[in-house]
Amino acid sequence: MLQQVNGHGSGSAAHGGESLREDLQEFLGGEAPLQQLDDLTKVNPVTLETVLRCLQAQYMADTFYTNAGCTLVAMNPFKPVPQLYSPELMQEYHAASQPQTLKPHIFTVGEQTYRNVKSLMEPVNQSIVVSGESGAGKTWTSRCLMKFYAVVAASPTSWESHKVAQRIEQRILNSNPVMEAFGNACTLRNNNSSRFGKFIQLQLNGAQQMTGAAVQTYLLEKTRVACQAPSERNFHIFYQIYKGAHAEERVRWCLPEGATFSWLPHPERTLEEDCFEVTREAMLHLGIDAPTQNNIFQALAGLLHLGNTQFADSGNEAQPCPLVDDAQCSVGTSALLLGLPEDHLLETLRIRTIRAGRGRQVFRKPCSQAECDTRRDCLAKLVYARLFDWLVSVINSSICAAPDSWTTFIGLLDVYGFESFPNNSLEQLCINYANEKLQQHFVAHYLRAQQEEYAVEGLEWSFVSYQDNQPCLDLIEGSPVSICSLINEECRLNRPSSAAQLQTRIESALTGRPRLGRDRLSPEPNFIVLHYAGPVRYRTAGLVEKNKDPVPPELTRLLQQSQDPLLKVLFPADPEEKSQEEPSGQNRAPVLTVVSKFKASLEQLLQVLHGTTPHYIRCIKPNSQAQAQIFHREEVLSQLEACGLVETIHISAAGFPIRVSHRNFVERYELLRRLRPATTLRRHGPCPDGGRSERPPCTEPATLQGLLQEILHALPAPLHCGRTKVFMTNSTLELLERARAQVLEQCARHIQRGWRRHRCRTQARRRRAAVLIQAAVRSWLARKHVRRLHAAATVIKRAWREWRIRMAFLASEELDGVEEKHSSQAPCSPSSSPLPLAQTRLQGAITRLWPLGLALANAAVGVHGFQRKLVVFACLQLPVGSPRSCAIQTAQEQAGVLSIRALPQGSIRFHCRKSPLRYADTCPGPSPDSVTGFNQILLERHRPGHV
């Protein structure tokens, strides 16, 4: 069962303290270093403390982007980091096969939206909501994203179309300096603070090339024209004119060097945003030509002079307020620059016209000093607001593509973050209301959708407690009664209303609302709204007036009479407007208050956002001094809470970001059934083939469920199975994929093993067959050889026997002849008569070779060749050397001795017999039959008397 992680407040409290820190230290010690974590949901455990530590470690290591589930957290580096936004890096993210695998970056979000548009998956249109507090880097981020799209969505088709696309992109990028000059100002929190909300729609054609853009602005802080908080400045454009105008322009616009203007505080401060030339250049690119620019700057100079128009108290209600000392001059200059008649201007500022009675008679009433000031400020705000809107429309007409030339869009929303000052008024109420709406959109899109899906799927999962801001929105905008409706009603009733009255009304009408409170210690009438990001105290004083934003009709009429070409465009004479200004009693048009207009535009924006796939970038300001490498934990903590990031992290970590349909899950992980141990296999029913064979894709729900259950039982980690989907965390997915890889590896091993076994067996069989064949052939050859030997031996034996018989016969004949001769001749002494040479040799041979004769006579038939030679060697007692070097030639043969044998019949004499063939050749000398040598010795030994 998944561990439940509840709201961050209680969670952090439960795990708080030193022991937690130690535990964390120990636990995280083995993990990847904090600065290398690419997702805050990976910190363990997810608490404010750990998330803060992770963010701090990353910031100190110059890592400015990290993920928090579906949100990208962007920390303001407060120093230039050019390599982080280089075109090369843009290309790298654009070309990456999976940009999510790269380091977290705004380009990852940009590329993701671009690919989503390309994929044409519903909803095709994309939106990026960039939020954060003032100075956190929203505008910077939006600017970088626009540059990114300008690079990746450039037209590559042809040189011509490329040029056109480049021009459009340049115009879109040029809209930034112009809008920032007119809509941004230096505040206590940001030198370049956007004083309006902005939604840029980047329009893409069918080939995903940027063909144009459209800008929608929200709630310009126009009061800044006439009223700047201490240490803050007016809009940048006033300073740009004041500091950057050429001498001739100064004369034309009546802006002499060193002139002071009450609506131009802190002109001595120089900011990099005060660059007039950049604004002028950008305006030129957007199609605002030099004369028009001149008209614009002239009108703005007129407003500066109008600000110097100070009224004094007349002391008499019937008399108009006089001007202070040199204010007359300022009125004159202002009227000149605005193309208005001076008298008419002054009269409009000081005298109110009232229509009353049946005949709608006109009454003229001098205004009080405060009323004069208000009318003056109102005139300035009116002119500036119209000018700003006109500029936006000019920019739009310059960058907007024809409706049929684009099909999809990527929206960039750069809105003011949540605001809470010591004194908050209608502006803060609107801004915080917008932030509540956006937070709700985020909640609706991500958190609630995620949890509702769990509920629909019947998942056993305790919901993460997150702050649902619906009660707060009900309090602000709900029906029938809410803060907005009450303020609007006050405006409609058109009755004098005090701040205390409004406070009481709000309290009594909205009593019991959980998100409403009041600061009872404050002397000023107020109410407190408990926003999702924290409580904010609003002053009720001036709320109704601001909401009414009344524009006296005389002012509009005055401006419609202007001779200035620009003001003529800004205030055209409109008959409808006239009729609105002079309503009859019953036919009065509904009052369009600031709140109702803002609410309408906000709803329109949210409608657009609901039709897109949203992406969120939360900008964080690490410190309020705008210093690099400084991380203030408390400030960051309050921002994390303000942007609801902690809930996001919790729900992302505790929830199941991965959901797979049952079918897809079974198809991918069916093979994991092999992991099931043998016992489980038996217990969980049959698996007929042991999971070995491939099944056809299962279509039957019952089969599917059966398989699913089998897989789930076999898995090493518990999974959460809903009605139609399987839910898992990233870590479970990793586990499953690892197990799958393991099973596939096992399968591969099985196949390899089988193949090797098969190969070995085949080889062994072949070897055995080869050996059998070889043995058969060899035995056949051997038998054949032996048969031949036998035949040869038989022949030899026969010839030998025949020869022996013949020889025996010849020898017996010979011996018989010798005996006869001996008996007839007297024996003669060998010493007395020396034997001839041949006879001597013969005798020697007989003496040496007689054992040979014996041996050969008795030798086995098969003894021949070398063996026979060895026998001869042994008999002759010859030295045994190399058989080759010692060719044996028996002396017996040389001497022609054929055989030596004892005389038969008990004779004690040996008989030497010479080969008749040899004898004839080698011993032609005297008769060989004489007894010599050994025979002679024997004879002599056996001779009587010799012992």
Ligand X SMILES: Nc1ncnc2c1ncn2[C@@H]1O[C@H](COP(=O)(O)OP(=O)(O)OP(=O)(O)O)[C@@H](O)[C@H]1O
Binding site for Mg ion (CB under 5 A): 138-139, 194
Query: What DSSP string describes 654-691?
Result: HS--EEEEHHHHHHHHGGGGGGS-HHHHHHT---TTTT
Which of Mg ion, ligand X, none lies near 137, with the C-beta cut-off 5 to 8 A by kind?
ligand X
Query: What DSSP string describes 842-866?
Result: HHHHHHHHHHHHHHHHH--TT--HH
Q: Which is nearer to ligand X, 186 or 842 (CB)?
A: 186
Query: How far apart are alpha carbons 154 and 157 in whole angstroms?
Result: 9
Catalytic pick from 197, 212, 417, 896? 417
> Is residue 190 near ligand X by the rule CB under 6 A?
yes
> Is residue 263 near ligand X by the rule CB under 6 A?
no
Which of Mg ion, ligand X, none lies near 691, with the C-beta cut-off 5 to 8 A by kind?
none
Q: Which is nearer to ligand X, 194 or 451 (CB)?
A: 194
**458 a catalytic residue:** no
Query: How far apart are alpha carbons 928 and 916 in whole angstroms?
Result: 11
Query: How far apart are alpha carbons 536 and 387 in whole angstroms?
Result: 32
**460 a catalytic residue:** no
Of 71-79, 297-305, 511-519, 786-794: span binding ligand X (CB under 6 A): 71-79
Site mask for ligand X (CB under 6 A), range 23-62, x = bound: ----------------------------------------
Q: Which is nearer to ligand X, 630 or 891 (CB)?
A: 630
Catalytic pick from 76, 142, 194, 732? 194
**635 a catalytic residue:** no
> Is residue 229 near ligand X by the rule CB under 6 A?
no
In the complex, the smallest distance separating the C-beta of residue 619 from ligand X, rounded to whole angstroms, is 6
In the complex, the smallest distance separating the C-beta of residue 609 from ligand X, rounded to whole angstroms, is 19
Of 42-50, 128-136, 231-239, 650-658: span binding ligand X (CB under 6 A): 128-136
Residues in contact with 880: Cβ distance below 8 Å, sequence separation at least 6, in sequence order: 870, 873, 886
| Cα 705 → chain centroid | 33
In the complex, the smallest distance separating the C-beta of residue 50 from ligand X, rounded to whole angstroms, is 25
Residue numbers in the known binding site are 132-139
Of 189-197, 700-708, 710-718, 833-841: span binding ligand X (CB under 6 A): 189-197
73-92: contacts with ligand X (CB under 6 A): 76-78, 80-81
Query: What is the enclosing helix (H) or strand (E) of 309?
Result: none
Site mask for ligand X (CB under 6 A), range 608-627, x = bound: -----------x--------
Site mask for ligand X (CB under 6 A), range 385-424, x = bound: -------------------------------xx-------
Bridge partners of residue 197, in order along the sequence:
218
In the complex, the smallest distance separating the C-beta of residue 54 from ligand X, rounded to whole angstroms, is 19
Here the tokens at position 698 are 């299962």
Q: Which is nearer to ligand X, 135 or 265 (CB)?
A: 135
Bridge partners of residue 200, in order along the sequence:
215, 412
Q: Which is nearer to ligand X, 140 or 261 (CB)?
A: 140
**417 a catalytic residue:** yes
Query: How far apart are alpha carbons 88 and 107 in whole angstroms?
Result: 12
In the complex, the smallest distance separating the C-beta of residue 620 from ligand X, rounded to whole angstroms, is 10
DSSP-based three-state secondary structure for 523: coil
Instruction: Label the pairing between strands 361-366 and 408-414.
Output: unpaired
Cβ pair 925, 839 in contact under 8 A: yes
Cβ burial, residue 38 (10 Å; 0-12/13-18/19+): middle
Find, among 60, 55, 62, the residue nearest to 37 by Cα: 55
Cβ pair 131, 619 in contact under 8 A: yes
Cβ pair 109, 617 in contact under 8 A: yes
For 447, other C-beta atoms within 10 Å of its C-beta total: 24
Query: How far apart are alpha carbons 84 and 913 in whole angstroms?
Result: 123
Catalytic pick from 63, 76, 113, 190? 190
Q: Which is nearer to Mg ion, 132 or 525 (CB)?
A: 132
Which of ligand X, Mg ion, none lies near 134, with the C-beta cut-off 5 to 8 A by kind?
ligand X
Q: Which is nearer to Mg ion, 105 or 198 (CB)?
A: 198
Residue 123: asked if its preceding bond is cis (omega within 30°), the reply is: yes
Site mask for ligand X (CB under 6 A), range 134-163, x = bound: xxxxxxx-----------------------
End-to-end CA distance of the chain: 127
Which of 50, 194, 482, 562 forms a contact with ligand X (CB under 6 A)?
194
In the complex, the smallest distance separating the C-beta of residue 177 from ligand X, rounded to whole angstroms, is 13
Query: How far apart are alpha carbons 525 and 504 in whole angstroms?
Result: 9
Residue numbers in the known binding site for ATP are 132-139
Catalytic pick from 67, 116, 134, 930? 134
Which of Mg ion, ligand X, none lies near 66, with the C-beta cut-off 5 to 8 A by kind?
none
φ/ψ (deg, to 5) at 685:
85, 175
Query: How far apart are alpha carbons 409 and 214 in whole angstroms?
Result: 10
**420 a catalytic residue:** no
Query: How far apart are alpha carbons 595 and 546 in whole angstroms?
Result: 9
In the complex, the smallest distance separating the C-beta of residue 732 from ligand X, rounded to whole angstroms, is 35
DSSP-based three-state secondary structure for 927: coil
Query: How far apart are alpha carbons 401 and 405 in whole angstroms?
Result: 6
For 105, other C-beta atoms within 10 Å of its C-beta total: 23
Q: Which is nearer to ligand X, 81 or 770 (CB)?
A: 81
**158 a catalytic residue:** no
Q: Which residues sit at the interface with ligand X, rule CB under 6 A?
A: 76-78, 80-81, 132, 134-140, 190, 192-194, 416-417, 619
List active site positions. Answer: 134-135, 139, 190, 193-194, 417, 419
